[in-house]
Amino acid sequence: MLGGYGDLESVARRLGITDLFIALPLGEYDTIIRLIEGGNNLLVDIHLVPDILQLVSLKAGLEHIEGLPVINLGDIPLQGWPALSKRLFDLLVSLCGLVLLLPFAALVALLLKIDSRGPVFYRQRRLGLDGRVFRMLKFRTMVRDAESVTGPIWSPRDDPRVTRVGRVLRKLSIDELPQLVNVLLGDMSLVGPRPERPELVEKFKASIPRYMLRHRVKTGMTGWAQVHGLRGNTPLDKRIEFDIFYIQNWTFLLDLEIIFRTLLKFQFIDRNA
């Protein structure tokens, strides 16, 4: 402790201070101004450490609007050219995957029709980029009208509504392969936070801080949380932490790592999502 605020000039001259760091709460605005004015008179380099960590939603970045410095509290790396490169990669992989998997998909469709009555595909409402609702495509794994009684819920372990073929498809994550169509159409990405049903999102966003920030990017077939074993009934707040980390630290190499780790585990998805 070298002194109080009023001792700034004497301490700076006595110790030959060249840099002044100001780290005060926002409530000390008047003091901050006085320190900046005093630092300017001393010709020292001034560094302001803003007390905004509790306000930051994703990642803070400095911008300039008409010469005015502005702190962007929601700055993310997945914008502009990085977003375009990710989209081009999604298009290429999803198109090639759909072409190569077409004969296999036809076989799965045949088995589903033989095993139980109902459509081959199941289209489910999910929340995607910027909170927009889209229809996520899956191979049907449950009996027809499975939610007519229960409504939208997470599928429990050993769910009796799952068909025989559906159980195998779920175990191998084959039921998720039609989501390549969603990726091709631009509703989803290969990698991103897993999409959730709108009815459940309404519950989660009221009780889980920063939950909706995961919708700042496209949802994905696999994600950073899933390759770390956070799927099914694992704690939601922990999964959100991993989703936010992915959004804040996105790189193309990170996407490749997630895809590689997903293929090694042969587990594309959050099993109950």
Q: How far apart are CA 219 and CA 187, in angstroms?
A: 8
Residue 266 Ramachandran class (φ > 0 left, ψ -120 to 50 alpha, else beta) = left
**pTM listed for this prediction:** 0.75
The pLDDT value recorded for residue 270 is: 45
Give the pLDDT of residue 51.
Answer: 74
User: Sign of the CA dihedral 238, 242, 243, 249?
Assistant: positive
Amino acid found at 137: L
Query: β-pairing, 19-22 with 121-127?
Result: unpaired
Torsion of CA 179, 183, 187, 192, to 10 degrees: 90
What is the Cα 220 distance to its own chain's centre? Answer: 9
133-143 tens-digit pLDDT:
999 999 988 87
- Whole-angstrom distance, CA of residue 221 vs CA of residue 176: 8
Confidence at 49, pLDDT banded by 50, 70, 90: confident
Q: Check: CB of residue 182 under 8 Å from CB of residue 126.
A: no
The predicted structure's pLDDT at residue 56: 63
- Per the CB < 8 A criterion, the answer to whether 32 and 24 are in contact is yes
Domain boundaries, the chain: 5-72, 81-265
Residue 6: C-alpha distances to residues 3, 31, 104, 271 (Å): 8, 10, 77, 61
Determine contact, residues 138/107, Cβ cutoff 8 Å.
no
Query: pLDDT (tens digit, 9 = 90+) per residue, 97-155?
Result: 999 999 999 999 999 989 888 889 989 999 999 889 999 999 988 877 666 556 655 56
* pLDDT top residue among 269 and 10: 10
Which residues are bridge partners to 254 per DSSP? none
